[in-house]
Structure 1
């Protein structure tokens, strides 16, 4: 079973491309999300918590929940394929927690970029309200669940806007909520928005322990010449974050890593932008990041690059 919380509308008995109510789904193996998969919110959280729990029992169980946030132009079947690849790949490397997905409304065409971006902003806050803050609210002294985020492409925009909007609302800001690791892959946000002191990302940094930005200079989807996108600011998923980022931010250049393995992704659509879900070895680095018990510079397979960024070695 796979666990998804979905904020899409329902039309003619199926999920659509517009914002709707929040649905907590328990999706059978091999299936795409369907309204019939909805279960009670309390049951959903209880089952996810149970899957998340692991570790020694002497000091009480702990656990991990990784929330995957997809990008634009991601149909639900593709979202589930990447969700399952992510979960299976991490488990193969030794991950023992839960992987869930936040399914925000987007269309199945790249030409819908601007509308998807609008829908992303409209529904982003529910990532905090219905997910992160909800997990924080059910924490118990005998079971601490670490919540992590892994956002791809425009999903990084969803995460950034969700944190910013939550801090702007007194009712939410007054409650204690945070995440451990935030992981951005192929982030479709401006590189400059991640710099230290930038108002757009200040809330994101405030509510996480560490932010890791994986970027690929070969990412043609994030090229400035790609007319399906909007704006001209260089994207963090292609050029990395600027040099003046907070100490908790980590830039990891995966360009040489991808280039050495690109022959493995011949059947993957937009591979320079999406290979992250189809490379089990890359997910080993992600697991080290989630565990957080090794300094960023000492994670095996990383080296310091010539421009001050960490580089994932091929």
Structure 2
């Protein structure tokens, strides 16, 4: 089963690309897209996710584990959301990951022309990420379950994440709780690079995470300045990387060398923006990051050149 929480509205028994009440979906292996008919009670959904996450025991016998939340980008159909969710889950499990993978499906339209509408809907539904997932998972921790919550955000999903944490810290009832994300990973992040430094806009993102890893691809045409009608005039963090003012807990990994060597391996639209889900090397880097056992400078899927970290160009 796959577990996805969906913030889309419903029309004629199907999900629509507009905000609506959050539904918690349990998706069977044979499903090829998402449907409101797959919704189950919220408490049942969380109990099953936590059961998947709690696969290990500490020396004291306390259950512990991991939950990775995937946040998709703009112009993403629900069939693609489900496909990428499974690529991430299957890829990590093949490497030995024993936790749960869940996805946040916010109301993105299936069209590149809807960029500004997607961005508006992303902001409107961003707080659901905290209120409907991160917050409840933190309450399980308070009940004695040692669960580490991580996030992998792609493209506009980085904007969803940043807005969610910024809005959450502005709401007293949410800000007062002690929740923290462990590993936050952003790939092809569709936010201004300058805003990812020590600015007020990203302060909650850094304060609420233990470590942030930004994967940038200088060959990402979707995030290029030539696409200003979609991404604005500011260079994006997923293309040029984190600014020098980013805090010490943030690390930048340039995937350009890797993509340049293996770009022919990837299929589908805009592989320079979307190849991550098909890349065994990228998922291996994510897995090692989730484990948190190796210093970021020494993770074997990375090489260091001239003071910069690169994804090692190996399959």
For each residue in 1:71-101, what CA deviation from the matched residue of structure 2 results, as whole angstroms up to 9, or x when unmatched? 0000000011000000000111111100000
Runs of 4+ in structure 1 deviating by more than 6 angstroms, as ranges, are none
Structure 1 CA distance, aligned partners of 2:137 and 2:203?
A: 22
Structure 1 CA distance, aligned partners of 2:143 and 2:174?
A: 22
For each residue in 1:155-185, what CA deviation from the matched residue of structure 2 results, as whole angstroms up to 9, or x when unmatched? 0000000000000111111111111010000
Structure 2 CA distance, aligned partners of 1:97 and 1:254?
A: 26
Residue 74 of structure 2: SS of its match in structure 1? coil
Structure 2 CA distance, aligned partners of 1:166 and 1:142?
A: 24
Is 1:279 equivalent to 2:279 in the alignment? yes
Q: 1:301 to 1:280 in 2, by over 3 A?
A: closer
Structure 2 CA distance, aligned partners of 1:186 and 1:285?
A: 15
2:281·2:301 contact (CA, 8 Å) conserved in 1?
no
Is 1:212 equivalent to 2:207 in the alignment? no
- Residue 304 of structure 1 and its aligned partner are, at CA, apart by 2.1
Residue 44 of structure 1: SS of its match in structure 2? helix
9-18 or 52-61, larger mean C-alpha shift? 52-61
Structure 2 CA distance, aligned partners of 1:289 and 1:57?
A: 20
Match of 1:312 in 2: 311
Structure 1 CA distance, aligned partners of 2:21 and 2:248?
A: 37
1:72-91 matches, cutoff 5 A: 72-91=74-93
- Residue 28 of structure 1 and its aligned partner are, at CA, apart by 1.1
For the aligned residue pairs, the C-alpha RMSD in angstroms reads 1.1
State the TM-score, normalized to the length of structure 2. Answer: 0.96
Tell me the number of residue pairs that the alignment of Structure 1 and Structure 2 aligns. Answer: 311
Residue 76 of structure 2: SS of its match in structure 1? coil
For each residue in 1:95-119, what CA deviation from the matched residue of structure 2 results, as whole angstroms up to 9, or x when unmatched? 1100000000011100000010000
Is 1:201 equivalent to 2:236 in the alignment? no
Structure 1 CA distance, aligned partners of 2:281 and 2:252?
A: 18
For each residue in 1:53-76, what CA deviation from the matched residue of structure 2 results, as whole angstroms up to 9, or x when unmatched? 122453222110000000000000
Q: 2:101 aligns with which of 88, 99, 102?
A: 99
Residue 229 of structure 1: SS of its match in structure 2? helix
Structure 2 CA distance, aligned partners of 1:143 and 1:168?
A: 27
Match of 1:131 in 2: 133
1:104·1:120 contact (CA, 8 Å) conserved in 2?
yes
- Residue 301 of structure 1 and its aligned partner are, at CA, apart by 2.7
- Residue 142 of structure 1 and its aligned partner are, at CA, apart by 4.1
1:52-91 matches, cutoff 5 A: 52-59=53-60, 60-91=62-93
1:148·1:180 contact (CA, 8 Å) conserved in 2?
yes
50-59 or 243-252, larger mean C-alpha shift? 50-59
Match of 2:26 in 1: 26
Residue 130 of structure 2: SS of its match in structure 1? helix
Structure 1 gap ranges (5+)? none
For each residue in 1:13-63, what CA deviation from the matched residue of structure 2 results, as whole angstroms up to 9, or x when unmatched? 000000000100001113111111000110000000000112245322211
Structure 2 gap ranges (5+)? none
